[in-house]
């Protein structure tokens, strides 16, 4: 069972996530976090020295719990198409819910502080997709594509939708099209089935 200290930390991260998703990074102050959590100033500062530390802790948690754990699934010998379809479903779900997205906050955060952490996350995303596409090609499930090109298209089309769906009205059809485009590029025609 979690200690009180751990539970408080989790509460801070949860409430801060909601604040960052809604308002971005720059606008949120430690005072906002106190109000959202009901913690005193002293209570909050005993956990985090500033909103940048809170934000980094959130990114770390997201990175660790990463629901798209291709490596584990590949080591279990799962079908590349199944792994891809699972990932595309998650991406589709995320793209349909821009209000839960940390995109704006990440954007502002990276603009104000150093780029190292964002580079780190980006590289991890690139590696994950690169490995999955190679895996699918080796198993004969994926077409022989230009791997780096496909990784770029996947990552940036996704990010483009994540960002712009906060700016403009985007239909579910657009999100679906991006997902189906990725699938069509990768999966061999003869073994394609509906996701």
Single out the residue of 18, 152, 172, 192 in contact with a second copy (rule: CB under 8 A): 152
Which pair of tokens denotes residue 82? 């199944």
Would you count residue 148 as binding a second copy (CB under 8 A)? yes
Instruction: Among 6, 10, 35, 177, indicate the residue that binds a second copy (CB under 8 A).
Output: 177
Compute the distance between CA of residue 64 and CA of residue 122 in angstroms, rounded to an integer.
14
Q: How many residues bind a second copy (CB under 8 A)?
A: 37
Encoding tokens for residue 31? 């005072």
153 binds a second copy (CB under 8 A): yes
CA 83 to chain centre: 16
119 binds a second copy (CB under 8 A): yes
- Judged by CB under 8 A, the residue of 106, 132, 133, 186 near a second copy is 106
End-to-end Cα spacing for the chain: 38
In contact, 74 and 83? CB cutoff 8 Å = yes
Phi, psi of 142 (to 5 degrees): -105, 155
Between 43 and 111, CB nearer to a second copy: 111
> Does residue 161 interact with a second copy by CB under 8 A?
yes
Asked if residue 178 binds a second copy (CB under 8 A), the reply is: yes
DSSP three-state, residue 147: helix
Q: What is the secondary structure of 143-154 as a DSSP string? A: ----HHHHHHHH
Decide if residue 191 touches a second copy (CB under 8 A): no
Q: Residues 54 to 93: which contact a second copy by CB under 8 A? A: none
- Nearest distance in Å: CB 163, a second copy: 5
Residue 2: Cβ within 10 Å count = 9
Q: Which helix (H) or strand (E) holds 55?
A: helix 51-65
Residue 99: DSSP 8-state: G
By CB under 8 A, which span of 37-45, 71-79, 114-122, 134-142 interacts with a second copy?
A: 114-122
| Interface with a second copy (CB under 8 A) | 24, 26, 104, 106-108, 110-111, 115, 118-119, 122, 146, 148-150, 152-153, 155-161, 163-164, 166-169, 173-174, 177-178, 180-181
């Amino acid at each position: 069972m979690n200690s009180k200290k751990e539970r408080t930390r989790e509460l801070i991260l949860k409430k801060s996530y909601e604040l960052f998703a809604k308002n971005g990074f720059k606008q949120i102050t430690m005072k906002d976090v106190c109000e959202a959590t009901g913690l005193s100033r002293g209570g909050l500062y005993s956990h985090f020295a500033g909103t940048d530390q809170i934000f980094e802790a959130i990114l770390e948690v997201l990175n660790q719990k990463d629901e798209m754990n291709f490596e584990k699934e590949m080591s279990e010998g799962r079908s590349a198409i199944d792994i891809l379809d699972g990932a595309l479903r998650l991406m589709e779900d995320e793209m349909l819910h821009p209000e839960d997205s940390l995109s704006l906050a990440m954007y502002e955060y990276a603009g104000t502080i150093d780029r190292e952490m964002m580079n780190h996350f980006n590289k991890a995303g690139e590696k994950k997709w690169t490995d999955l596409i190679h895996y699918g090609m080796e198993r004969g499930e994926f077409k022989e594509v230009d791997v780096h090109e496909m990784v770029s298209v996947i990552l940036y089309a996704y990010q483009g939708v994540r960002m712009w769906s906060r700016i403009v009205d985007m239909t579910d059809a657009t999100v679906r099209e991006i997902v189906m485009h990725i699938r069509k590029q990768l999966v061999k025609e003869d073994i394609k089935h509906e996701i």
